[in-house]
Amino acid sequence: MDVLQGLDSGEKYRWEVKGLPYAVELPLVRLPADGRTLKIASLNLVGQIRLNRDLGRLLAAKVREVVGTMDDVVMLTVVEKGLQLAQVVAEELGLEAVAVAYNRIKPHMEAQRRPVIQIGASSITSGGKFLALYERDMNLLARGRRFILMDDVVSSGGTIFSLADILEEVARQKDMPAPVIAGVFCAATEGEQSPLLPAPVYGLGKLPEPVVEPE
């Protein structure tokens, strides 16, 4: 069964996840990266209702197993491709809200009048980017004692490092103790994970190492 319904053309990677009763046929795509071309299996969960639901339920079970009670935990996630997955996980865990890092400062954040944190980041797919956190999410994070970081994919770890930096900055601005990250959760890890990541990474499945293509 191809839950992506064969809507992507071209070569595919068959992605299998323990506990998921079907494999997912991911398109292999080529990305520009520092003057090179990287070939990756593209997991894009945007708009994939069934896949987000099924992966989200599995991931929520993993969070419960690792983190235990959620009473003191706030989830921090990041736009764009991880957001629908985070929604399902949060619903499964009974959370009323999660903190979200946006990819830019937006007008409704009233950055001239209210606190906003913006930091640089990078990811395998986007290269250089920005993450922005605004007042409401800063205040939500300030209620946490432990934190979990949630994304669809962890590859170079650049996005996760920047989410951890955001948490540190919230702690600094809110005069909180150093943040305790109880785990990093994702649908898939890609390639080898950096040993410097701020917490253990719990992925449901693995994506193949990106391949540098010859010029």
Ligand X SMILES: O=P(O)(O)OC[C@H]1O[C@H](OP(=O)(O)OP(=O)(O)O)[C@H](O)[C@@H]1O
Per CB under 6 A, the list member of 159, 166, 203, 204 interacting with ligand X is 159
Radius of gyration of the chain (CA): 17
Candidates 79-87, 88-96, 132-140, 198-206; binding stretch for ligand X (CB under 6 A): 79-87
Phi-psi region at 94: left, alpha or beta (left = phi > 0; alpha = psi -120 to 50): left
**Residue 77 touching ligand X (CB under 6 A):** no
What track of x and - describes contact with ligand X for positions 93 through 112 (by CB under 6 A)? Answer: ----------x---------
Candidates 47-55, 77-85, 88-96, 135-143; binding stretch for ligand X (CB under 6 A): 77-85
Identify the H or E element spanning 184: strand 180-190
**Residue 80 touching ligand X (CB under 6 A):** yes
- Please report how close the Cβ of residue 12 comes to ligand X at its closest, in angstroms: 19
Q: Are 135 and 116 in contact (CB under 8 A)?
A: yes
Q: CB burial class (10 A; 0-12, 13-18, 19+) of residue 10?
A: exposed
Residues 108 to 137: which contact ligand X by CB under 6 A?
123-126, 129
Per CB under 6 A, the list member of 4, 28, 33, 79 interacting with ligand X is 79
DSSP state of 109: G
**Secondary structure (3-state) at 111:** coil
Q: Count residues near ligand X (CB under 6 A).
A: 20
141, HSE (Cβ side, Cα atoms, 13 Å): 33
Nearer to ligand X, 142 or 208 (CB): 208
Point out which residues bind ligand X (CB under 6 A): 78-82, 103, 123-126, 129, 151-159
